[in-house]
Amino acid sequence: MIEEALREISRGTAEIIDNERIEKLLKAYFEEGKGYTVKAGFDPTAPDLHLGHTVLLQKLAVFQKYGARVQFLIGSFTATIGDPTGKSATRKVLTKQEIIHNIDSYTTQAFKILDESKTDIVYNDDWLGNMTAADMIALASNLTVARMLERDDFSKRYASNTPIAVSEFMYPLLQGYDSVHLKSDIEIGGTDQKFNLLMGRQLQKAYETKKQQAVLMMPILEGLDGVQKMSKSLGNYIGVSDEPKDMFGKTLSISDELMWRYYELLSSKSLDEIDALKAGVEDGSLHPKKVKEELALEITTRFHDKAAAQAAKEEFERVHAKSQIPTDIEEFTINAESLWIAQALVDCKLEPSTSQARRDIKQGGVKINQEKVTDMNLQLNAGEYLLQVGKRKFAKLRVD
């Protein structure tokens, strides 16, 4: 059981620091039923969430499956004092009420993934709000300026003479102090958070919290293009409040390679189940498109429900089928004032004879501009037409 848990926990991770601690926590859980805590920080500005944001939530859900209580930490302290860095001077200072409102809509989404009964939502202004300047200075004594400037973004900004406000040095310290206050056993975050995540370990040591947190970093999710990170501004995202049909359709649009990546980071299927799917694709018993549909159904069901997902699938198939028009259709131009439809089909080589054409029209197998032809005597006047016989045969006709 522990092995399976460790496999699911390490699944898709970019880096784990102090894996031994995680093993010990799991051992204590499986052998003695002891719980432990996993902290993750969230921004209370409640952006429009997309699947990239849910990678962490999926991992937290895995931890919950294996005995963890999740410390769903809201970084409300910064929001209530405003961002004083000057970088975004216009950022509005949020009241606690506004934050709670934002978080409410956030957690409504999050609890589609997380187990609410195993989640503690905590607001760090509850303890940081009571912190004095003296406490803050004592906290800041735990880190050197040189070490702070090693942080990737700081070092780049310092090197390029982009101003860094002294106050910006406080935020990693505060994030680390949250782990001291919460006595977190594990903290998870994105790879871009490594410095801040390690700060938690360092400060827990300085403040003599009994044990230092393990750190688990998740990679940044690629967007639909499979290259850039998923982001609203790049337009390559699946939003968690997207309509079912968009959610389903966008998922089907990704490459097979990216599909496996999404399975690893976003699916609730176990690694064994995923391995079975992979094997099926490899031995030809499963079409990759079917596997992709299954992923699309899972994701759509998560943020809507099974019925909505199924409806999305059917709608997609209908629309998709409708628009299943080859891109390399042969074009014909016929000079005539008007042209009988059966003759047109023969001229465009879609039918061998006008009699066959009439039979097909009668059976509803002929379309013009994707609309069924019902009038066997239809005359085409000057204009352009997309002719279709059955599912596969197309022609473009210009009459003038």
Our CB check for a copy of itself shows the closer of 149 and 386 to be 149
Smallest distance from a copy of itself to CB 196, Å: 14
369 residue type, one letter:
N
Beta bridge partners of residue 51, listed in sequence order: none
Taking the C-alpha atoms of residue 207 and residue 179, their distance in angstroms, rounded to an integer, is 11
Smallest distance from a copy of itself to CB 158, Å: 7
Our CB check for a copy of itself shows the closer of 105 and 167 to be 167
Compute φ and ψ for 272, nearest 5 degrees: -65, -45
Smallest distance from a copy of itself to CB 78, Å: 8
Q: If DSSP codes are grouped into helix, strand and coil, which group holds residue 357? A: helix
Smallest distance from a copy of itself to CB 202, Å: 12
Our CB check for a copy of itself shows the closer of 73 and 214 to be 73
Is 232 labeled as ligand-binding?
Answer: yes
Lookup result for tokens 């506004």: 98
Taking the C-alpha atoms of residue 292 and residue 263, their distance in angstroms, rounded to an integer, is 9
Our CB check for a copy of itself shows the closer of 144 and 285 to be 144
Q: If DSSP codes are grouped into helix, strand and coil, which group holds residue 88? A: coil
Our CB check for a copy of itself shows the closer of 117 and 160 to be 160
Q: Return the number of other C-beta atoms located less than 10 Å from residue 145's C-beta.
A: 11
Beta bridge partners of residue 70, listed in sequence order: 38, 119
231 residue type, one letter:
S
Taking the C-alpha atoms of residue 363 and residue 350, their distance in angstroms, rounded to an integer, is 15
Among candidates 344, 42, 386, 311, which has minimal Cα distance to 193?
A: 42
The binding site for a copy of itself (CB under 8 A) comprises 77, 80-82, 84-86, 128-129, 131-146, 148-149, 154, 158, 161, 163-170, 173-174
Compute φ and ψ for 232, nearest 5 degrees: -60, -45
Smallest distance from a copy of itself to CB 120, Å: 23
> Which segments are annotated as binding site?
232
> Which segments are annotated as binding site for ATP?
232
